[in-house]
A = this chain, B = another copy of it.
Amino acid sequence: MPLIQLSEVSKYPEKEVSLKGWVFNVRSSGSIYFLQFRDGSGRIQAVISKKEVDSKTWQACGKLTMESSIELFGTVHEDKRSAYGFELEVKDLKIIQLAEEYPIAKKEHGPEFLMDNRHLWLRSARQAAILKVRDEVVWQLRKFFRERGFVLTDSPVLTPTSCEGTTTLFSTDYFDTKAYLAQTGQLYIEATAAALGRVYDFGPTFRAEKSKTRRHLTEFWMLDAEAAFVDFEENLKIQEELVSQVVQNILIERREELKLLERDTKILEKVAVPFPRLTYDEAVTRLIKAGLKMKRGDDFGGDEETVLSKQFDKPVFITHFPTKIKAFYMKPDPADPELSLGDDLLAPEGFGEIIGGSERIDDLKLLEKRLKEFKLPRKDFEWYLDLRRYGSFPHSGFGLGLERLVRWICGLEHIRETIPFPRLINRLKP
């Protein structure tokens, strides 16, 4: 009798199999027990008839508690009425461990309780589904870049300086000096782009942000991409093709999970290129019209992003922000140097920013001037300036926040559910 995974149960109709996993519900109707059973790869209903099993097995069923680990032996039957498509007719059952009273019952729990028990909460069908979407999103992102000849070049977490100021950085003693946990790998992959042409990195990044929002984690995964000889316009194309391809493939590969999450997939189906574009100027006009109190020149926060992104059913680019509210390395628009050749890509339905990108300054003199204007310590950026001294090259890139993308695709209220063990201002455990 083969020990199988439920993910492959469809290969065993009318066959005898064994399964190892956990009971997530038990119901009895006198002479029959209905066990809801999961093994991590899938779920099934297991049916135990008093007349089909020996008394030892029948007694064991009476003891089963939620989340007990068991081994089942029985016959797989197709069952069109079941949500799982199959049912197991049990011949024998072995208890591996009887669980103590499981803390997560069916009643409503507050988010803090669930987060304190994150290590157990992950077993719920909903949380497991989100993790499976996340896994697939990561794979699809990497696949996109591989297919287009981008080489993965991981950038370091431990860095000697920050590229956007140190106020929101975590720091650590590094032997006789100090290191900061990187917020982005962009500067580093600009160097690898000069070596390999098209590159990306994808790893955890850190922001010691004091704000509590539904969009921010202190530790989150970021994908940075950088391409040599790619301009602002082509950079936007790569971004929209990336996002639409990933979303369309998730709709195919994770349809079941999105259904379980009750995600409205009709909106996701519309996510095809090209994406609409607004300039910063046009966006501000819309925001003022929508009643937001802001003036031209202000940066956007969560509220602005929400309002704008609710006006679209596809992701929307906001381009040409004022250079002074954007990072020092963004290339100014030759047509109006007060504006930068950069973009934010906002997910629709109010979800907000998922990507930030730009063409980078490739002129040595201008970059030196910008470092000065931003009061950044020149000596820490000498290596970065080298990229403009030795065969400077027009190049563009962007950073994509994995958890924000997953949040939007899954349609989640809060970003904390998009990562196995979220880190927030008040949350470092478990």
Contacts and interface: CB of A to CB of B under 8 A. Distances in A.
Nearest to A171: B172
A152 B134 contact: yes
Given A96-B393, A157-B219, A188-B420, 11 more contacts: A20-B229, A41-B149, A69-B393, A100-B390, A123-B195, A131-B192, A132-B151, A154-B420, A157-B206, A158-B428, A170-B174
B172 A153 contact: no
Interface stretch (A196-204, A237-245, A262-270, A279-287): A196-204
| Residue of A100, A391, A394 ringed by the most chain B CB atoms within 10 A | A391
Contact of A155 (B3, B138, B362, B420): B420
Contacts of A3: 229
Interface of A: 3, 5, 7, 20-23, 39-41, 67-69, 96-97, 99-100, 102, 117, 119-120, 122-123, 127-128, 131-132, 134-135, 138-139, 142, 146, 149, 151-160, 170-175, 177, 179, 181, 188, 191-198, 203-204, 206, 208, 210, 218-219, 221, 228-229, 362, 383-384, 386-394, 419-421, 423, 425-426, 428-430
B131 A196 contact: yes
A171 B156 CA distance: 17
A146 B139 contact: yes
B40 A193 contact: yes
Contacts of A135: 151-153
Nearest to A123: B195
A154 B97 contact: no
A185 B132 CA distance: 18
26 contacts: A5-B149, A21-B197, A67-B390, A67-B391, A69-B391, A96-B392, A97-B362, A117-B383, A119-B384, A120-B191, A122-B192, A122-B195, A131-B153, A139-B142, A139-B152, A156-B420, A156-B423, A157-B206, A159-B428, A170-B172, A170-B174, A177-B428, A188-B421, A191-B430, A383-B430, A384-B430
Nearest to A196: B40
Contacts of A154: 204, 221, 419-420
A67 to B, nearest CB: 4
B174 A5 contact: no
Contacts of A177: 428
B204 A157 contact: yes
Contacts of A119: 188, 191, 383-384, 386-387
10 residue pairs, one from A and one from B, having the closest CB atoms: A40-B197, A383-B430, A69-B391, A119-B191, A122-B195, A20-B229, A97-B392, A135-B152, A67-B391, A99-B390
A375 B327 CA distance: 48
B429 A383 contact: yes
Nearest to A430: B383
A139 B127 CA distance: 26
A146 B7 CA distance: 13
Nearest to A174: B428
B191 A122 contact: yes
